[in-house]
Chain A
């Protein structure tokens, strides 16, 4: 059983080697080998997860040779299972999707290598091995996104992705080296054991845990498209659809995985968790706003992923590390399905647009009056009342100090926001039957709040069995109660004011003031230009390049 993690990783590598060597003989049927071997890898990872869930094998580290050492813990078992599963789906899908594309064999080789690199990344217990996998994921993604060698656009955006990934590769290198200097080992389990009792080591005159935590967070931000290093994500749709699916379902989550892997560091780096919370919050808001203003559906999907990554980092910021893992799996399944289903939807729409050809139907549909009356006030009260009720009930029936559990309250906020989104996006606050509408909303709230609470607890118990460690993580993420209360008050005020503004504008049909209209136009203009971040980067890049050209010319290229 101890060789199981190694076999799970080895099979995609064998698949890549066989694909290269047998492609000339087997032609496109060589992809069958990939599917079978990745399927086998998935079966083994299922076995590994099963043994992790039921505790049938000792959870420890697998040392193969030298640096080639792997974690054998619940986190790696779960993530290996997820990666092998997604990879199997993408492999099976690509057999037909890529059948007529040039570079078919190259694509499958890269897909196999990417699977292996991701598997190593989530399970490596040696820092050098982790760095190798971390770097290779970036290079392989660059090649996969640039699969179409003739598309200038695909190449340009593959390059942007590659550069951002390189930018994100370097902080984690420095973090690894600092840990090595402090503890004299590259082994993560040994480093985490040494960190357990607290460490007074410093780096650059600052506490080591804080510096390492910050550097790891920087790398995670670049990989998970956090605000200011997000510009690559919405533009990566020029790659093949299976790559988009794999990227949005798995690769982009690498940031959350890295932060989870370094969780023992963050117990001693609370201030970095606060930074993560802020960065995640800003990214979630900006990603969501950008998503709503895009005309291109693919870019909108990209920004949607950015928003979700913001939530994931935010969850880490409140100490809910295990919930972030659940979030990345759930989002991966959801987004992967969307991408892989996209071509089917387009095909169906071409065959049948869904509108019956009868004139009578068209007449009725086009002339049906739009329901204008919406239960704004009731809805606003409802969205305020339900979370407040949950909070008070939890206070009286679950734990007296529930108000002081900051992570839980923040997650309740998250549930509240998700619920509010449901009202707008899913139900559109319209229904023929108001009772049914309110029932649906209530059920949604209950599912969101209870679901998140139960799942968070379940994942926490599975991934971090030590209750003291879980408590320490949440404690590190906490801030002084007075600041927390102020923060919650500000958030509540913003949301309530938003409701009131929307209510008055729609219900009272308020005339828009000139300054207000201009302000909104300005806001829309800035947002539709994606906050000018890409423009700024492009301009900086042009200046760097033109400066280099001038200096080269002046020095005669010597």
Chain B
């Protein structure tokens, strides 16, 4: 392959930079248009309920199953390490803190991006390619209000709840392994957990994390669908982008948020 002259490389690099900035601008305007102002349709609540079902309720099985298993694995691994120091009673607090502070929001975020995010992108992309969005515009209905806004709100509302459910069933899975199977004394399992988990420090910070992740994932997912090229290849590329960008955003933001919340600086 012919190598490009330096000037051409700089030009391509510059163009890629401009494209990124343009996409950021487009996605910000898109978000503001969708969320600000009234939709004037009067059916906003019903649309939201429908989306809460498809985005939130239908994500429940994967969240619950993953939560139970992750809690069980945490308890098993924690027990094996702690038992060497004779402090296996601390396994309860370890499971709870890990889930509430980190794994609850992060793993829920990753699963949510894969399950609900990709579905949102594909659905909206398909509506675009079959001219349903254009057709809404021509009926005089703003697709940003009618299609996009309910999906955004449904994502914002359901993901933090899913993250909480994930942590709760994770702790329950952890108790099942530690108490029922490995024989950790039930009183110390729950007692240690109760003493060490601080509502503000641990529970609330975890919820804040999941709210931030919910916002970013849903935004990426609906924007990729709305902005995709209306072809089958374009939709598949947009769906992949949603999962990749959203997962990277979750992991990157998790570090920043953790540093801000627990960094002591």
Bound together: no
